[in-house]
Amino acid sequence: MKYVAAMAGLIGMSASLAACASSDNPGVADSVINQQNQTLLENTAGQGFGPQSPRDLSSHHGENLRYTTFAPQPEQMNLCNIHFHKNAEHKGGDFTRYAGNGDGHGHDTGFLYDGDLSSAQLSPVRAQICPANNASLNPGDTIEVHYVYSSAQAAPGPTLGACLNNNTMNPELRVEGQVLVLVNDRSALDFTDLAAIGERNGFHQALNIPGDTGTPIQYAGSTTGPAYNENGSPLLVSWSVRPSTAFVDIESVGEWCNGNVFDESEAHGVRNLVTDPSLLSPIGG
């Protein structure tokens, strides 16, 4: 099952966001993104969809109250999947610089790290890192990592399908999100450590999610995936996204892509930002 077929959910970018797109990567016209937004609203109107994602983490307003109870803490759930997206899906914290509209299908869009990097951190690497579509990751790129947990009897495996169980029709899902900046620095964080898995107290766990990247911003939303820019996601997720970035050694990301239990070998695309209040849950309220 392809990732985009398993992951679901959310809405497009507003014209005001599109206007601040990076001039060197404008991507498709604003009208394309605006039409995707409008189509999503039409396809979800009156259908009973819960809140969607991703979102601007600094905006706490939302009018969708269909899902108001958060999933248990990750220590009480099973880790079922780890994957990452090229560029941050969410906007907020250290990642508010819009990458541009991209191709309208999730590539070359999303949000970038706001800070500066040294010339050493940005120096090229010899190998291709997690290549996809004739391109690879490069020093300076931003990624958003999703650690997905399920209340079902589940074990770490490929795609969101690993988070589901035929005997649990409606498992609670939680995503722990961490935005990372790729640098050419072997002394930076090792991604194979960040993605290390094991068991604690009888639950499958990600053992080394960073604990020093700010208090996670929590909200109710959907699953993700650019195939759903124009369709609502039926799956509801408790999100916990850390607002500060961390630097990770880009070569360690490549090592992880070369073989892992999740069959992840490349970065996924990102979905348009959800902005319409009818498709957003309130944060902190």
Per-residue H/E/C for 106-148 = CCCCCEECCCCCCCCCCCCCCCCEEEECCEEECCCCEEEEEEE
* Residue 32 pLDDT > 60: yes
CA distance to 70, 177, 207, per residue, from 237 (Å): 8, 12, 21
What pLDDT score was predicted for residue 72?
96
- What pLDDT shows up at residue 250? 98
> What is residue 186's predicted lDDT score, i.e. its pLDDT?
96
Q: What is the pLDDT of residue 133?
A: 79
Q: Are 254 and 266 in contact (CB under 8 A)?
A: no
pLDDT > 70: percent of the chain: 91
- First-to-last CA distance in the chain? 36
Read off the pTM: 0.90
pLDDT in tens, 211-254: 999 999 999 999 877 878 999 998 889 999 999 999 999 999 99
Residue 153 has a CB neighbour count (10 Å cut-off) of 10
Residue 7: burial class (beta carbons within 10 Å; 0-12, 13-18, 19+) = buried
> Using an 8 Å Cβ cutoff, are 282 and 60 in contact?
yes
